[in-house]
Structures are given as C-alpha cells and as structure tokens.
Structure 1
C-alpha cells in the first residue's frame, strides 16, 4: 500500500512540474512585433497612432468612442477628424502594446453590430 501511494505521489508531482514548466515556457514565447500589426493603424513607434476608418461612423458612435478613449489612463489625447482617429499615448507604442486595445475598440465601436 505504501509503495503504491509513493508511486502515485511521484507521478502526480512529476505531472504537476511538467505542466508548470510547459506553461512557463509558453509565457516566455515571444513573437515579432509585426505579427500584431493592424492595417488600419499608422504611427506605431511614436506616442501618437492614427486609426484610419474605412467608412464614416455615426456621430453618436464617434462621441461614445471619444469618451471611451479619453477614459483610458494610458491615453493623453484623442482627436477625430473625418475618417482618422488620432490617439496619443503616454509613451511610444509598439504593435504588441496596442494590439488588444485596438481589437477591443474595433469590437465595441468600429464593427459594432447594428441593433434593430
């Protein structure tokens, strides 16, 4: 009985350590910055990036978007002119740094499903 318990304990410990090392290795995996690029974004590498819209959005959506962007701590300024949304960050940007932020902005405001 003791031998089976010790074997089981060793197997469980080994399995736990293997999964911990595997997940640690995945966290360290890095991709080149270009992998995160978005064709609608220009100015990456500087604090100000510009998102270029394909089509004009409704004024109400643009106002909501501006309020949303200005509420972010990392953003110091927002300017919307026509189909260009200029976003000024506190520090120079990388594609990876703004990737998830831009995806969320597109999901909530740019490609927002029309109700009704």
Structure 2
C-alpha cells in the first residue's frame, strides 16, 4: 500500500527507501504510515543525509519539491516528517519529541 501510492506519484517509498543499499529501517508502522502520507500528500519532508549521499534517489527526475535533503539535524527545520539516515545514536528526548514524524535508516556499510 505505501509503495503503490509513491510509485503512482513518482516519489519515494518510505518503507523501501535504502533497501537496495542495505539500509535497515527503525520505525513502527504508525511512523511509516505518517511519513508515507506526508510524502504523497506533498507535505514538507526533510531527508537528513548524515550517513549517505544522494544515492537513495535513483531517478533521473528532479526530487519532488516537498523533499528537502539536508546534511545534518541542525539544518532540518520544521517538517511534517523526518527521514534520517544515520549511524549515530539519536538522543532519546529528540526521538520522543519527534514521535511518529521520525523514520530512521541505518546503513549497514561504512562510508
């Protein structure tokens, strides 16, 4: 269901992001659904590329306008959802504060 909506709109599938790159997803179903809805509904979604480059966007099309990649959390700003690619520990208080707006991806390979 999540993937089909994103395919139709030509955007990312939150539940599959980074899978072909060996990333593990840390999020419960509620967080995945919330982030997927934000993506397909055109709400602002920040992708924190802390432990990756742009390899997650395999398309030759430009990024959808609602996806905002940044290099670190300090540049994230306000968003409906945060997709954070990191190897670092996320502060428990920040994780609690973001709640279902946060989906974390853990790359398996060192840079």
TM-score after normalising by structure 1: 0.26
User: TM-score, normalised to structure 2's length?
Assistant: 0.27
Is the radius of gyration larger for structure 1 or structure 2?
Answer: 1
More relative contact order, 1 or 2 (CA 8 Å, 6+ apart): 2
